[in-house]
Structure 1
Amino acid sequence: MIQSINSIEDKELKQQVELEPISSPPPKKKFRWSIDKRDHPKQVFNSTLYLSIFVFGILGAARGYDEGNISGNITLPAFIARFGINDPTKSADYLANLTSNITSMVQLGSIGGAFIAMKTVDFFGRVRSLQIICLLWIVGSIIQITSSNLGQLYAGRIIEGIAIGHTTSIGPVYLAEVSPSPIRGLASCIFAGAVYIGVLIGYLANLGCVLNVADTVNGHINDNQWRYTLIPKILLASLIFIMSTILCVESPRWLLKVNKVDQAVKNLSKLRHMPEDHAYIVAEISDINEQVLAEKDAIANSSILGNLRDLVTNKSIAYRFFCIAGAAQVLGQWSGANAVTIYASELFSLAGIKGPVGKLKMSAILGVVKVISAYLGAFFIIDVFGRKRALYSGISLQMVSILYYAIFLTIVPQASQNGTVLTPSQTRASKGALAAIFLSGTGWTIGFNSVQYLLGSEIFPLHIRSFAQSLVMVLHFANQYGNSKALPKLMLALQPYGAFYFFVGVMVLGLVFAFLLPELQGRSLESVEEVFTLPWYKLRNCDKLVPDHSNVHEINYINSRGKLVYDTGKVDEIVLQPEQKAEKMV
């Protein structure tokens, strides 16, 4: 199955290996204004890999579409009338609670979905789990479309939430597992960026319906005005399901974990566009298999309680869970970004935008800004400048923008009142507040949003990766649920500006958090374990203290002609002999 480099069919490569003397190690890498792929053959970055990444990446749109859709639905006249959001007989506190219940019900379901994903993602595999949750997503959407009362609407949104809770475990874990180390950050950010493709489609669907579908017909509520906005959920789920059956290759790491060794090698060969006995495939399978074997011995009798015990009693894993992945979720969710997304229409009205059409247009522009900035961050920042620099720059921009918006609400609170005429200086300040909302979205997508899925998918060991990522996503949705529930009441209790000063304080803590993070840019997943043998206060210097010793990085060298070739001796050390294969890999 896996043979030494002497049996490799690539004659040109073989001749290079045999004839060229090994030169001195390559010089220390310098900063490049592009992703550094020099340690990896060109064929590793291919259409099969990119199509698999695309399908799992676009899965992020599931969560985003709902956020964009519900933020507009609560401003649509037909939706407001159907579910009593503006009932004059109810108190302001009751209506704020009703609005937050409707908007946050998907987050509540997502908590359960992320918790269930602890088992399902490992039991069914990454691809099969994706297909199952697409079907569940369709069921939840149909229930919502046919809703005529709050109870049915809640039920449909909770079921959709269970599906969405799974997506944030399935997508990032798969993308981290199949991506070569130079583009792992980019792949995870495609998922994070897809959230805002979903948000944008949701905003545009709401805008289209408010412009083209009347809210009443013959004096009766026209429910089609909001029901039409839910149809893209079914279309998106169906499209992802179909593409997953045609384009996706199951994760080799998961296959090795469940003892499907032959299939793991075949799948890795497909994903890398290399023969199964190629030195690169041998090295990568060896890296994965080493970790799998070690962890299988350590968790022979593992269980959910055992995994939970690891999260608490194993100092290294506990630090990763509570102080890195968990802290990223708490700080990110309470930085105010999701409040801006879900309540965008209301925040634009506080800045002086009047009427549902005007607010939805501004929301659509916000969606465009977030999509563009998310993918600029994915392709030109996260794997070029690194995770920490992306986080520093994103948090700083978001913090300054939110601070300006808070100051504006403090000085010009009357901007949201109907009939108010602003002075020229107040008008300019109002435009600045609109710009601040857009810039805060840019900062969020470059900063916290870039790392909130990536960190959990790359810092945990394989035996607990799916479990820990699922628990991180439970924390993610629990905080998002609390945030979306709390914001309407927070703005009533603290005044609108008080809530945004609170968000600024959270982002100050976020800068301290970013300073202490380890930089994992370009590392193989298997080498990450070595990083966390360091004390917590040295992790920020891990790139200097702990080199990447994975086999993939060790088998190649740059020859005198500047070409990437493979060291025969290194490969021979890596390749398992027949008797070792029988003992270790089967």
Structure 2
Amino acid sequence: MTEINEKKFDEQSIESVGAKYDKHNQELNKPKKFQWHLDLSEHPPEIFNYTLYLSVFVFGILGAARGYDEGNISGNIVLPAFKQMTGLADTTKSENALANLKSNITSMVQLGSIGGAIIAMKSVDFFGRVRAMQVVCVLWIIGTIIQITSSTVGQLYAGRLIEGLAIGQTVSIGPVYLAEVSPSVIRGLCNSMFAGAVYFGIMLAYLTNYGCVLHVPAQIDGHINQSQWRYTLTPKIVLAGLIFIMSFVFCIESPRWLLKKNRPDQAIEKLSKLRHLPKDHPYIIAEISDINEQVMAEKEATMHSNIISNFREIFTKKSIAYRLFAITGLAQVLGQWSGANAVTIYASELFSLAGIRGTDTLKMSAVLGVVKFVSAYLCAFFIIDVFGRKRALYSGLSLQMICILYYAIFLTIVPQAKETDAVLTSSQKRAAKGALAAIFLSGTGWTMGFNSIQYLLGSEIFPLNIRSFAQSLVMILHFGNQYGNSKALPKMMLSMNSYGAFYFFAGVCCLGLIWGFFLPELKGRSLESIEEVFTLPWYNLRRCNSLVPDHSQIHKVRFTNSRGNTGFDHVQYNLDTSKPTDEFIEDLMRRDSTESDKKEDVEKKV
């Protein structure tokens, strides 16, 4: 009889434990309601600290390198002194020859950036993220000095090409570092700091161009003042110098890179500094465990890897090939041909097509820079990690497509707006104002959509062993398309008419919306868990969060107390939440037994 009762008790206990486990597991995997703010409750507040933010700021502001050049050259090509020095003011040249010369000048940095992205395949991993950034700053300063001192278009080409070698590396160094050091819950925000800094650079360049036109005379004693356009280049030296100095003071090397280089003690030390937690804290142990597990597995698989084996892995492994060509590759192609790059580089000319004249084109360009800068950081802080990658892409791309389509229709209906002596009706004037607003809003749409995605995807979805290599390939494609776009647009505006080019851009935006439907949503996932996502077939990637839960160790560290207290007594560390292991059941039974004993003691006392 006793044996039967004990058996029944055991069965009831196991059923009770199983029920408790099921409830526990359901609560962990229960989808959370959408909130208009980041849910930081499951992370210790110490990890969101000034050390992390300063490192993120320095690497993030590196994005201004590319942005400043794009904004700067768009203003310089309309300045009389610059046009005289480069030959753009030569009236003996044909329209096609001038268009070709203009495209060569504007696109030379993009051409150099292709070489820079190739260099970054090795430099980012060889030097480390911090040291590689310091080398880039020196190269950036050298290229700028050559441009400032140039008196011929050939020397200007050389300076812009060298600057491009630096800029091409920034787009690998910045996003890779930011993705590696950021807590998963704010990884999109941190990576968007780099994308947003592109528009900080553009805004700064537009304002510098406009300021130099207002305060530096175009002529001195009847001669064209070449200093006017040279002054617009000097902020590049200031930016590069500040980043170089701050990198020594504020930046901490990526723990992932240190583990990859067999320096585990330094990796733990740096991660501890970045997270403001002791080295033996469960969160640090969990994160190091995640990183180390992936690094060790990849080292074993790629023990004798080299550039040839990296290419082989990319082209022979279906999962990685799909990530390169169908996701990051198409992101670059669709993003660069969606018209945003054309709007940035040729903003002054596009404003003139809408009826703006003289220095007002530079003023409108400065306003465009401010709009893009503000919208880029609003997106970084309130959209990309809150709204999600895909929702941000849909919203931004839809807005961009509508605005570009409106501008194309305006150019079709009111082509005379570009004429200097054009007389517009009241309805045409209102339409012209609408065209100006469309240019501004298209920039807002771009910063919400493709601008963040094109940097973020490449830094998230590739395995650690080829992450910087693959990101460099992606950036080669990025600058290759940007170079082609910069070269092609002046001729597209001639051969297709101005409106034809923008109808083309609107069509690309439409294709982008279709492409975005099949993307996986990676918001909040750890980098280590993303590899599991790509075990799914391509048509199921968009449902990855329901099909492939994030089993990363850091998501098993639970903080049961209120915010502001993260002592060890308030940490629950669940070693496994995917299945009811024997150990887990035993723990629950032991806890039930303890609670039962306590209850009996209380009853006896009563």
C-alpha distance in 2 between matches for 1:558 and 1:213: 62
Partners of 1:111 and 1:128 lie apart in 2 by: 21
Normalised by the length of structure 1, the TM-score is 0.92
Q: Is the 8 A contact 1:22 1:567 kept in 2?
A: no
Question: CA 1:554/1:73 → structure 2, altered by over 3 Å: closer, same or farther?
Answer: same
Q: Distance in 2 between matches of 1:421 and 1:555?
A: 68
Q: Quote the residue 2:575 is aligned against.
A: 570
For 1:272 and 1:138, locate their aligned partners in 2 and report how far apart those are by CA, in whole Å: 33
Q: Give the residue type in structure 2 aligned to 1:60.
A: G
Structure 1 residue 211: deviation in Å? 1.0
8 Å Cα contact 1:34-1:384 kept in structure 2: yes
Counterpart for residue 39 of structure 1: 42
> Root-mean-square deviation (CA), in Å?
1.7
- Is the aligned partner of 1:390 residue 2:392? yes
For residues 84 and 24 of structure 1, what CA distance do their matches in structure 2 show?
A: 73
Aligned to 2:420: 418
Q: Is 2:314–2:321's contact at 8 Å kept on the other side of the alignment?
A: yes
User: How far is the alpha carbon of 1:430 from its aligned partner?
Assistant: 0.4
Computing the radius of gyration over CA atoms, which structure comes out larger, 1 or 2?
2
Distance, in Å, in 2 between the alignment partners of 1:50 and 1:90 is 52
Deviations 1:337-390 (A, max 9, x none): 0000000000000000011x1100000000000001101110000000100000
Q: Does 1:80 align with 2:90?
A: no
- Of 114, 118, 121, which residue of structure 2 is paired with 1:118? 121
Deviations 1:140-174 (A, max 9, x none): 00000000001100000000000000000000000
Unaligned runs of 5+ in 2: 1-20, 577-606
1:159 aligns with 2:162: yes
1:307-350: CA deviations, max 9, x gaps?
11111110000000000011100000000000000000000000
> Quick check: 1:180 aligned with 2:196?
no
Distance between the aligned counterparts of 2:171 and 2:424, measured in 1? 44
Match of 1:169 in 2: 172
Given that 1:203 and 1:363 are in contact with CA atoms closer than 8 Å, whether structure 2 keeps it comes out as yes
Deviation of 1:221 after TM superposition, in Å, equals 2.5
1:321: which partner in 2?
324
Q: Give 1:563 deviation, angstroms.
A: 8.7
Paired residue type of 1:326: G
1:568–1:187 Cα change, 3 Å:
closer
The answer to whether the Cα contact below 8 Å between 2:189 and 2:385 also exists between their aligned partners in 1 is yes
Cα offset, 1:499, TM superposition: 0.2
Cα deviation, residue 219, structure 1: 2.7
Aligned to 1:134: 137
Aligned equivalent of 2:5: none
The unaligned stretches of length 5 or more in structure 1 are 1-20, 572-586
Deviation at 1:556, TM superposition (A): 2.2
Letter in 2 for 1:110: S
> For structure 1, which segment, 561-570 or 271-280, has the greater mean C-alpha deviation from structure 2 after superposition?
561-570
Residue in structure 2 matching 1:469, options 462, 468, 471: 471
Alpha-carbon distance in 2 for matches of 1:125, 1:469: 15
2:457 is aligned with 1:455: yes
2:451 corresponds to 1:446: no
Question: In the aligned structure 1, how far is the partner of 2:174 from the partner of 2:397?
Answer: 24
Q: Tell me which residue corresponds to 1:236.
A: 239
- The secondary structure found in structure 2 opposite 1:396 is helix
Q: Which amino acid aligns with 1:57?
A: G
Which of 99, 104, 109 aligns to 1:106? It is 109
Q: How far did 1:222 drift? A: 1.2
Q: CA deviation at 1:513?
A: 1.0
Match of 2:33 in 1: 30
Question: Within 5 Å, which residues of 2 pair with 1:120-519?
Answer: 120-355=123-358, 357-519=359-521
Aligned to 1:13: none
Could you tell me which residue of structure 2 aligns to residue 545 of structure 1? Answer: 547
Contact 2:556 2:573 in 1 (8 A): no
Is the 1:532–1:539 contact (alpha carbons within 8 Å) kept by the matching residues of 2? yes
CA contact (8 A) 1:60 1:167 kept: yes
Once the 2 structures are TM-superposed, how far is the Cα of residue 568 of structure 1 from its aligned partner? 5.2
Q: Distance in 1 between matches of 2:277 and 2:422?
A: 67
- Is contact 1:491–1:498 with CA below 8 Å preserved after alignment? yes
| Cα distance in 1 for residues equivalent to 2:440 and 2:387 | 23
How far did 1:473 drift?
Answer: 0.3
Q: Which amino acid aligns with 2:404?
A: I
Deviation at 1:41, TM superposition (A): 0.6
SS of 1:35 mapped into structure 2: coil
Contact 1:23 1:558 in 2 (8 A): no
CA distance 1:402–1:569, change in 2 (3 Å): closer
**What's the CA shift for 1:47?**
0.5
- Residue 568 to residue 415, structure 1, CA distance change in 2 (3 Å): closer
1:92 aligns with 2:108: no
Q: For 1:176-232, what per-residue CA distance to the aligned partner results, in whole angstroms no more than 9, with x for missing partners?
A: 000000100001111000000000110011111111112222232311000000000
Tell me if structure 2 keeps the 8 A contact 1:23–1:559.
no
Report the CA distance shift for 1:110/1:125 in structure 2 as closer, same or farther (over 3 A).
same
What's the CA shift string for 1:25-52, capped at 9, x where partnerless?
A: 5462221111122221110110000000
Three-state SS of the structure 1 residue aligned to 2:356 is coil
> Does the CA-based 8 Å contact 1:172-1:188 persist in structure 2?
yes
1:57-83: CA deviations, max 9, x gaps? Answer: 000000000000000000111111111
Cα distance in 2 between the residues matched to 1:208 and 1:77: 15
Q: CA deviation at 1:418?
A: 1.1
Residue 570 of structure 1 aligns to a residue whose secondary structure is coil
What one-letter code is carried by the residue in structure 2 that aligns with 1:24? H
Distance 2:339 2:304 in 1: 42
Give the conservation status (yes or no) of the 8 Å contact 2:352–2:361. Answer: yes
One-letter amino acid of the structure 2 residue matched with residue 543 of structure 1: N
Structure 1 counterpart of 2:13:
none
**Per-residue deviation at 1:251?**
0.2
Q: Which residue does 1:533 correspond to in 2?
A: 535
Report if the CA contact (8 A) 1:82-1:221 is conserved. no
CA contact (8 A) 2:43 2:559 kept: no
- The question of whether the paired residues in 2 share the 8 Å contact of 1:73 and 1:226 is answered with yes
- The answer to whether the 8 Å contact 1:131/1:241 transfers is yes
